[in-house]
Amino acid sequence: MLLGDVARFHPIKNLTAAIRLLPGRDWHLALVGQGAQRENLIEFARSLGVLDRLHLVGELPPSRVGDFLGALDAFVFPSLDETFGLAVVEAAQAGVPVVANDLDVLREVLAVDGAPCALFVDVSDTEAFARAVQRLIKDPDLRTQLRSRAARLTNRYTLDAMVRCYADLIEALRRRPASPARPGPGPHHAG
């Protein structure tokens, strides 16, 4: 089984949680990206005895990311903090089953009509994380359901939808009553 992620190699991306999935299982982990934590990830995998199943792909041009995603059995996303989670949304849109850290922002962006397009788990619990991945792999009905929902993310994140959201936000701000001006530091006049 091939798991993967697309991320910069930074502690906030929590890629060690994904590496912790490998011991005792016949799984491989492919990571696209680069960053200051590269050597730390290699050393961590070596310490767990799984370096031979960690594949650091490096950077890929955008035209090749789809090929990478298409080769995965599951996309794992253990990030500790996100503002949107573009990589995980792209993976879901590409039809890759996703297991993501249980963050409010990811529950929001990986949903269509309130229904999740991924499995969410506390990735700090390695066994729970592994059970979620295993469930995703062993349950074809669940994969089909998540893929079907995720295919509708494309409609949610179109350029037109983004422009409408910005226009709605601007209009809401325009309609909001002006707040009274606050006195602030200004030029001092000598009299």
pLDDT of 78-128, one tens digit each? Answer: 999 998 888 999 999 999 999 999 999 999 999 998 999 999 999 999 999
- The pLDDT of 28-52, averaged and rounded, is 97
Q: What is the pLDDT of residue 163?
A: 74
Residues sharing a CB contact under 8 Å with residue 187, sequence separation 6 or more, in sequence order = none
- Mean pLDDT, all residues of the chain: 90
Q: H-type helices in 56-139, by residue range?
A: 62-70, 86-93, 104-109, 126-138
Which amino acid is located at 2 in the chain? L
Q: What is the pLDDT of residue 162?
A: 66
CATH topology of domain 2-174: Rossmann fold (3.40.50)
Report field, pTM of the whole predicted structure over 0.85: no
- The pLDDT of 171-179, averaged and rounded, is 79
Residue 108 token pair: 């929001």
Contact, 89 vs 103, CB < 8 A? no
Contact, 40 vs 17, CB < 8 A? no
